[in-house]
A = this chain, B = another copy of it.
Amino acid sequence: MKTIGRHLIAEYYGCDLALIDDVGAVERMMHAAAAAVGATVMASAFHRYAPQGVSGTLLIAESHLSIHTWPEHRYVAADIFTCGGLDPRPGFALLARELGAADRRMQEIVRGLPEHVAEGRALMPSDVVVLTGELH
């Protein structure tokens, strides 16, 4: 199997503050996002913090989804990382709707072995960024 993966990094602003402080609602929404991208959920971990905020991850057969919420700022950070040819973008749109986000921002990067990324690049939307960090 090729290593190529699409990692969508999403920020949502002006979200519904009661909803994003409700761990059950956040977990349901993340399962819906996984379904929207056609992913198979293998395991999940969600936690509600005191006094507020929810974090959670879904391990999927095709990588993972994660979410962190800051109800006091109506802000949510989410990631959808897929491999195996799945398109993560329907999950981004679903979360925007479910969160009641007034605004949102998204960046997608391609990850994997350099030769797989080079081969797969032609299949990506034009605004997808290939990871080109410095070696450290």
Binding site for B on A (CB under 8 A): 1, 3, 5, 7, 9, 11, 13, 42-47, 49, 55-57, 59, 61, 63-64, 66, 68, 70, 72-73, 75, 77, 79, 81, 83, 92, 103-109, 111-113, 127, 131-136
Q: How many copies altogether?
A: 2
Minimum-distance CB pairs A-B, first 10: A107-B133, A43-B45, A57-B57, A45-B59, A45-B45, A42-B47, A3-B70, A3-B75, A106-B136, A106-B133
Residues of B within 8 A of A134 (CB): 105-106, 127
Residues of B within 8 A of A107 (CB): 109, 131-133
Q: In the assembly, what is the distance between CA of A135 and CA of B12, in Å?
A: 11
Residues of B within 8 A of A92 (CB): 136
> What are 23 contact pairs spanning A and B, CB under 8 A?
A3-B75, A5-B68, A5-B77, A9-B109, A11-B112, A43-B45, A47-B59, A55-B59, A56-B59, A57-B57, A57-B59, A57-B66, A63-B68, A64-B66, A66-B66, A68-B83, A103-B135, A105-B134, A106-B135, A107-B109, A107-B131, A107-B132, A108-B133
Residues of B within 8 A of A1 (CB): 70, 72
